[in-house]
Structure formats: structure tokens, C-alpha cells
Homo-oligomer: A and B are copies of this chain.
């Protein structure tokens, strides 16, 4: 065969199998999104449409890859937890990282017009992705706690910062100077005393980020409001339909209960979230 004499070049492809029995956390981040958000006039400090588009792309990934059991997003980043027993693509690192990053990106561009109908994309945005392995449950919980704590810190800062700029008419340099060295309590106070904003009453999505989990659809009440633990009152639910339409085949394979993916804006640092969802860390 004509190609045979060159086929030796395949021997340079080295295996990149990820250690079995460990949780994979896949995180992706927007590439140069500071500029991207400026170019597309994102609302500051948070653009609800942009966040919902991120959530949509995340949901598409989770619908396509059942081994992803949890997603957490804030700003231009999203983290996903794959069960530790997953054998997705034989646990090949490049294959998993590139495919998940690609599908997320594709979904983001594909659904853009639904969220920005009057604001067409000016150029194709991109994301980078990576996988970090965590051997134990507590590492996974601490990882997601780290991201949600970060969400809180960043959002509080940005909220005050943009209030100072937009309503307080400070320059961005002045706003940074005003905030330098302030602790959390002082930031709350600036917001309340100078701008009459009660931080605690702001949109939960901005303060807590987006938490995507699978919930079972109760059999008799198909289509009814899914039963969500009472304390989590912010969510969007979508009936799970695969973005690539190959749902039927999968459902035949396994007689598992029907699930859909819900978007919550709840606390994932405390025990409650994890205790009520033992399946997240079980295998």
C-alpha cells in the first residue's frame, strides 16, 4: 500500500492514559474573554445572557457525556466532574480534553444568537481546557468549594468596582484604589451606604455561580416541575435531549430512570448539597 512506508510515524504517538480510579475534573476558561466581552458589549459586572449561554453549552456537554455528573460555572469558566470509574475514551487525556473543549465551544457559538439576538458574534471565541485528577472525595469537594469561594470573592469585588465606576463616576484606577485593602465587610458597606445596594439581595447566579446536576424525572408527573430540594429555589430545568439526537440508542442500552439536567445557584461548599446527592462521589 502506498502509505505503508510512512506509517511508522504513528509510533511517535505516545499513550496518555489518565490514572484509573481517580476523579477527573475538567475545567475550561475563555481565551482572552476580557477583550471578547468588551467587543460584544457585555453588561458589567455580570451579563446574564452570557452566563446563561455558558450554562447552555455546559448542559449540552453533560447531555452528551453521561459520565459528567456535575458542572460548576462562573464568569467565563466552567468545571466538570467525571465519575472516577469513567472509561470515557479509555481515559486518554488529549482525546477527552480536546473533545470536551470542542463541544463546549461549538455549542457556545451555535447557541449565541438565541441569547444575543441583536448582537451578532464579531469573531469566533475560543476556550482552553485541562484535566486535573483528584484521588479522594474531599479533594473533589474542596475543588468545587475553591471555585465557588472564588466566585463570591470576585463577584463582590466586581460589584463594588462597577458601582464606583458606573454610578460613582470614578475612573477604573480610582475604583481600584478605593477598594485596595478593603475586607469583605467594608465592601458590603460601600455598596449599601453609597449605592443603596444590598449585596445579599443580588441575583443568586452572580453570587454563587451555576451548578448543573442531573435530577431524576418523577415517572408519573412527566413534564411537571421537577422535585428540587426546597432550599434551592433558583434553577432552570430543561428536558434532556441530546444535542446530537442520538438519545434513543442510549436509552435502550440502559434502563436507568429518566433524568434531566437542572441549573441551580445553590451553595456547594457546605455539606448539604453533597449529602443529598451521594451519587456524585460514589464511583
Contacts and interface: CB of A to CB of B under 8 A. Distances in A.
B129 A3 contact: no
A245 B128 CA distance: 19
Interface in A192-224: none
A22 B19 CA distance: 10
A123 B60 CA distance: 10
A20 B185 CA distance: 36
A153 B102 contact: no
Q: How large is the interface on A (under 10, 10 to 19, 20 to 34, 35 or more residues)?
A: 35 or more
A22 B22 CA distance: 9
A243 interface: yes
Interface string A101-137: 1111111111100000000011111111111111110
Given A19-B14, A126-B103, A6 B145 contact: yes
Interface of A: 1-3, 5-9, 11-15, 17, 19-22, 28, 31-32, 35, 39, 60, 84, 93-95, 97-99, 101-111, 121-136, 139, 142-143, 145-146, 149-150, 152-153, 184, 243-246
24 contacts: A3-B146, A6-B142, A6-B145, A6-B146, A7-B146, A9-B142, A12-B21, A12-B134, A13-B132, A19-B133, A21-B136, A21-B139, A31-B99, A32-B244, A39-B245, A94-B94, A94-B128, A99-B127, A101-B101, A102-B127, A106-B125, A107-B124, A122-B245, A135-B136
